């Protein structure tokens, strides 16, 4: 069913479908208070906050509403030009540039040591399981909202908004971090040893690396603004540019891996301090930090409205890119530790400095150039995804509706792309990498945790409608995972065995007592449910607890900010938009729906008559 927003207007002779699209594309205020100059109206809205929270916080949408009614609010449709190989290349590019060149050196030097490749492997397992959940959801709800839409149709508006706000924070901060790293590697490519010579010192302020002065990074800003302009122009052309950069990037990775193993030594893995100099704790702490590297595959799910065959292409693009990147990450990390002892790795330009140390100056410059190219590709994909997240949040009226606009000529979310591009550039100009790494990992893990919960809930509640059992299972699973993680953190071995056995028993009992929904024939679905999603929940909780307390403090501040925004703006905007659509349209909606159904029935009858005539002619012949 479609909702139509109309005002008193002259009769129109447009087709009902066109009327529907025009009405949805109209600038529905979404919130009376945000368009009214009356302070009294806004104060009245605030006085209704408890009532509106009760009505909107857990309000859910169906996948059909997301695909039709909500999507029409953007006006024009996004253009379906991408294929499965475009998605795979976008996923690979989105992860490779950020992961290898930004986090590997830092984690190997001071967190995991030579066992950094094991950290990548653990993070890969968790990310792969999360990607399976994303793949199934992307087939069920093929819209540009990604995790925001998946959670909104499952747990309601506030959970979807909470995840969407965290995803946007994660993207903007990680893009700023990666852009600053671009300056480091670009300097290495031209033989400049000190990247700060390309930055501008801000006098009178401290807070940079090691307590030094704040350095303004204008090359990072220029890169972000350039990519913003490219993404505003066309998604397909941006995908072609990404494909070219990714091919060169993968060839560079192959060279680094082969050269690293050929010119390195296995003794660098055990000297000094052995393979695991920081212990098992260092491996898992490193896994939580390098999880930052897997930001990118969820960008593929935001391309759902621009893919020609989403039900087939999305699972291939999401899971395929994850498998490729996981293998490359582990080999790259291992080759780095082959070339240089972990305590001699330079955190900021680890691979370029490693080749320079073994005497390959030319290779060092080439790695710097290749890393810069990879970071550009990574930024391109991440900025592509973040704009589509914000566009769909705007459709839901949880952000200003002008952010939901899709440009009719380019088929891109122009306003959202420009807005986030400017925000990212403002942060990249001064923010140091160390400040934001761990809060990004925490935010990413939390969103993936919520998506895994949502998949289990939808699979089992839809099949059996036993909501209480599903809630109880998810609560026990999360509690057991948290108990195991805290026991690990404090070294309580008997508690590890207790909570580990409890988690396995809970999953096994739930699997045997409740039958999940049977996927539609031909539809892609996660196999062996609920085990993959349950293990994803367990690993997400475990990796979150390895992060520092400061990350949780910063995340708590961010949570308060976005919750306050929802209470003061989001809930009122979405409430008034939905009420307006439901109340104002009344007879118009019914009339339009009746006309549409009449035309559909007439077309079906005409088609049946035509087929019957053709069949009769064939039989006579």
Q: Which of 85-94, 209-218, 568-577 has the lowest mean pLDDT?
A: 209-218
* pLDDT score recorded for residue 87: 81
* pLDDT score recorded for residue 600: 58
Q: Mean pLDDT over all residues of the chain?
A: 77
* pLDDT score recorded for residue 475: 93
Percentage above 90 pLDDT, the chain:
7
Q: Over 70: is that where the pLDDT of 3 sits?
A: no
Over residues 421-439, mean pLDDT: 74
Q: Which of 28-37, 126-135, 194-203, 267-276 has the lowest mean pLDDT?
A: 28-37
Q: Which of 57-61, 380-384, 561-565, 611-615 has the lowest mean pLDDT?
A: 611-615
| Higher local confidence (pLDDT), 99 or 268 | 268
Give yes or no for a contact between 160 and 479, defined as CB atoms under 8 angstroms apart.
Answer: no
* pLDDT score recorded for residue 133: 86
* Gyration radius (Cα) of the chain, Å: 26
Q: Over 70: is that where the pLDDT of 440 sits?
A: yes
| Higher local confidence (pLDDT), 58 or 20 | 58
Q: Over 70: is that where the pLDDT of 287 sits?
A: yes
> Whole-angstrom Cα distance, residue 298 to residue 315?
11
| Higher local confidence (pLDDT), 494 or 476 | 476
**Residue 620 pLDDT class (50, 70, 90 cuts):** low
Over residues 90-101, mean pLDDT: 73
> Whole-angstrom Cα distance, residue 550 to residue 530?
33
> Whole-angstrom Cα distance, residue 115 to residue 441?
19
- Residue matched to tokens 């052309």: 237
> Whole-angstrom Cα distance, residue 122 to residue 331?
14
Over residues 64-84, mean pLDDT: 70
> Whole-angstrom Cα distance, residue 98 to residue 103?
8
Q: Over 60: is that where the pLDDT of 206 sits?
A: no
Most confident of 145-149, 264-268, 482-486: 482-486
* pLDDT score recorded for residue 610: 61
* pLDDT score recorded for residue 19: 45
Beta strands in 132-249 (DSSP E): 200-206, 213-216
**Residue 483 pLDDT class (50, 70, 90 cuts):** very high
Q: Residues, the chain, total? A: 621
CA 442-292-78 angle, 5° bins: 100
Q: Over 80: is that where the pLDDT of 163 sits?
A: yes
**Residue 38 pLDDT class (50, 70, 90 cuts):** low
DSSP percent split of the chain into helix, strand, coil, nearest 5: 75, 0, 20
* pLDDT score recorded for residue 21: 46
Over residues 518-537, mean pLDDT: 79
Most confident of 39-48, 461-470, 610-619: 39-48
- Residue matched to tokens 């959940």: 133
| Higher local confidence (pLDDT), 248 or 474 | 474
* pLDDT score recorded for residue 27: 43
> Whole-angstrom Cα distance, residue 131 to residue 112?
25
- Over the stretch 321-333, which tens digit does the pLDDT of each residue have? 888 888 888 898 8
Over residues 63-89, mean pLDDT: 72
DSSP 29: -
* pLDDT score recorded for residue 476: 93
Cβ contacts of residue 620 below 8 Å, gap of 6+?
A: none
- Over the stretch 372-399, which tens digit does the pLDDT of each residue have? 787 888 888 888 888 888 888 888 888 8
> Whole-angstrom Cα distance, residue 418 to residue 397?
19
Kindly write down the DSSP assignment for every residue of 341-394, as one continuous string.
-GGG--SSSHHHHHHHHTT-HHHHHHHHHHHHHHHHHHHHHHHHHHHHHHHHHH
Q: Given its phi and psi angles, is residue 50 left (phi above 0), alpha (psi -120 to 50 degrees) or beta?
A: alpha
* pLDDT score recorded for residue 452: 92
Helix (H) or strand (E) holding 328: helix 310-339
| Higher local confidence (pLDDT), 55 or 363 | 55
Helix (H) or strand (E) holding 14: none
* pLDDT score recorded for residue 505: 92
């Amino acid at each position: 069913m479609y909702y139509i927003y109309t005002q008193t207007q002259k009769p129109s002779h447009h087709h009902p479908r066109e009327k529907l699209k025009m009405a949805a594309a109209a600038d529905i205020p979404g919130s009376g208070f945000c368009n009214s100059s009356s302070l009294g109206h806004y104060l009245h809205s605030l006085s209704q906050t408890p009532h509106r929270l009760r009505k909107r916080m857990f309000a859910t949408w169906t996948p059909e509403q997301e695909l039709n009614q909500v999507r029409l609010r953007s006006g024009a449709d996004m253009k379906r030009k991408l294929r499965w190989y475009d998605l795979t290349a976008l996923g690979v590019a989105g992860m490779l540039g950020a992961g290898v060149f930004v986090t590997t050196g830092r984690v190997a030097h001071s967190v995991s040591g030579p066992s950094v490749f094991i950290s990548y492997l653990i993070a890969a397992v968790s990310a792969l399981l999360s990607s399976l959940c994303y793949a199934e959801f992307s087939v069920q709800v093929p819209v540009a909202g990604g995790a925001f839409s998946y959670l909104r149709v499952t747990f309601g508006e506030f959970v979807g908004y909470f995840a969407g706000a965290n995803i946007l924070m994660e993207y903007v901060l990680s893009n700023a971090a990666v852009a600053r790293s671009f300056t480091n590697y670009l300097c290495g490519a031209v033989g400049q040893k000190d990247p700060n010579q390309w930055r501008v010192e801000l006098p009178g302020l401290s807070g940079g690396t090691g307590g030094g002065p704040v350095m303004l990074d204008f090359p990072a800003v220029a890169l972000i603004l350039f990519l913003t302009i490219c993404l505003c122009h066309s998604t397909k052309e941006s995908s072609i540019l990404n494909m070219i950069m990714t091919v060169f990037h993968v060839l560079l990775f192959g060279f680094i891996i082969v050269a690293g193993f050929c010119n390195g030594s296995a003794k660098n893995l055990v000297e000094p301090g052995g393979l695991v100099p920081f212990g098992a704790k260092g491996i898992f702490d490193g896994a939580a930090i390098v999880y930052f590297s897997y930001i990118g595959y969820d960008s593929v799910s935001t391309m759902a409205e621009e893919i020609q065959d989403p039900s087939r292409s999305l699972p291939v693009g999401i899971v395929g890119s994850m498998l490729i990147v996981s293998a490359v990450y582990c080999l790259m990390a291992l080759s780095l530790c082959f070339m240089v002892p972990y305590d001699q790795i330079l955190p900021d330009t680890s691979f370029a400095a490693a080749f320079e140390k073994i005497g390959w100056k030319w290779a060092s410059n080439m790695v710097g150039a290749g890393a810069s190219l990879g970071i550009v590709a990574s930024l391109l994909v991440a900025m592509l995804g973040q704009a589509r997240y914000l566009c769909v949040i705007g459709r839901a009226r949880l952000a200003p509706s002008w952010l939901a606009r899709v440009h009719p000529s380019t088929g891109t979310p122009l306003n959202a792309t420009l807005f986030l591009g400017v925000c990212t550039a403002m942060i990249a100009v001064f923010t140091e990498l160390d400040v934001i790494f761990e809060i990004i990992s925490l935010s990413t893990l939390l969103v993936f945790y919520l998506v895994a919960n949502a998949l289990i809930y939808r699979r089992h509640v839809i099949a059996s409608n036993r909501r209480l059992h599903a809630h109880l299972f998810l609560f026990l699973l999360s509690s057991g995972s948290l108990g195991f993680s805290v026991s690990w953190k404090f070294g309580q071995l008997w508690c590890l065995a207790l909570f580990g056995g409890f988690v396995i028993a809970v999953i096994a009992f739930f699997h045997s007592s409740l039958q999940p929904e049977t996927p539609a024939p031909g539809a892609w679905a996660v196999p062996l449910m609920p085990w993959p999603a349950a293990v994803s929940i367990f690993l997400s909780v475990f990796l979150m607890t390895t992060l520092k307390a400061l990350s949780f403090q910063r995340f708590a501040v961010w949570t308060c900010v976005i919750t306050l925004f929802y209470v003061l703006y989001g809930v009122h905007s979405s409430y008034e938009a939905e009420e307006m659509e439901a109340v104002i349209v009344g007879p118009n909606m019914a009339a339009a729906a009746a006309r549409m159904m009449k035309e559909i029935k007439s077309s079906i009858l005409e088609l049946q008559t035509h087929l019957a005539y053709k069949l009769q002619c064939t039989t006579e012949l």
